[in-house]
Amino acid sequence: MSLDTAVFGGGCFWCLEAVFKMIKGVKKVVSGYAGGAKEDPTYEEVCSGSTGHAEVVKVKYDPEKVSYKLLLEIFFASHDPTTLNRQGNDVGTQYRSIILYTTPEQEKLAKDYIDELKDDKVYPDVIVTEIEPLEKFYKGEDYHQDYFANNERAPYCRAVVSPKVNKAKHEFASMLK
């Protein structure tokens, strides 16, 4: 089995990790940092907004079971792509909406999908999602991995992550593991 890689940032990486881990064909999801210039950034450095990195997830998936287009649909359904450098109360460039493509085909699919969303007027505001090539991915600290699964009762998880997980369960029920 040959796996492909997709990298998305849509606010706090705990939310996207929890959502993508539920999807058939997704084999691994790693929370980390990408899109900036600082080598080997720490969570504290990324949170300061000084590194240029965004909180992202690296999704390893089986393209025979789940398409990149469906991953894009899940990504856009899991965050607000119209808020610049923020998701809810999480504010700063580290929380921006970003797609970091790993192939020219992913770049084209991402651009085409955003055009489709615009044409269909899915969002009342302008989509601000960045589309950039993935230069380097840095794995986040161990305590960020499987965060929602390990901290489901934490206030942030209950208030922010759980609603996104529940929405994905409803909208993508046929694709759940």
d(CA 134, CA 152): 30
pTM above 0.75, yes or no: yes
pLDDT higher than threshold 80 for residue 129: yes
Q: In whole angstroms, how large is the CA radius of gyration of the chain?
A: 15
Identify the bridge partners of residue 56 per DSSP, sorted by sequence position. 32
Question: What's the rounded Cα separation, in Å, for the pair 147 and 130?
Answer: 25
Q: Is 58 helix (H, G, I), strand (E, B) or coil?
A: strand
* pLDDT of 170 over the 90 cut: yes
Is residue 121 very low, low, confident or very high in pLDDT (cuts 50, 70, 90)?
very high
| Residues 68, 95: Cα–Cα separation, whole Å | 22
The chain-wide mean pLDDT, for the chain, equals 96
What number is the average pLDDT over the span 133-153? 97
The residues that bridge with 139 in the sheet, in sequence order, are 32
DSSP 8-state secondary structure symbol assigned to residue 159: I
Q: Which is the CATH superfamily of the domain at 4-175? A: Peptide methionine sulphoxide reductase MsrA (3.30.1060.10)
In degrees, rounded to 5, the angle at the alpha carbon of residue 84 between the alpha carbons of residues 80 and 85 is 100
Annotated catalytic residue, options 12, 15, 47, 157: 12
pLDDT score for 13: 96
The answer to whether 12 is a known catalytic residue is yes
Q: DSSP of 63-111, one letter per residue?
A: TTTS-HHHHHHHHHHTS-TTSTTEETTEESGGG-EEEEESSHHHHHHHH
Helix axes 104-119, 68-77, angle to 10 degrees: 50
Q: How far apart are CA 168 and CA 74, in angstroms?
A: 7
What distances in angstroms separate CA 162 from CA 14, 32, 71, 79, 153, one per listed residue?
Answer: 10, 20, 19, 13, 9
Domain range annotation of the chain: 4-175
Residue 1 has pLDDT above 80, yes or no: no
| Beta-carbon count within 10 A of 89 CB | 11
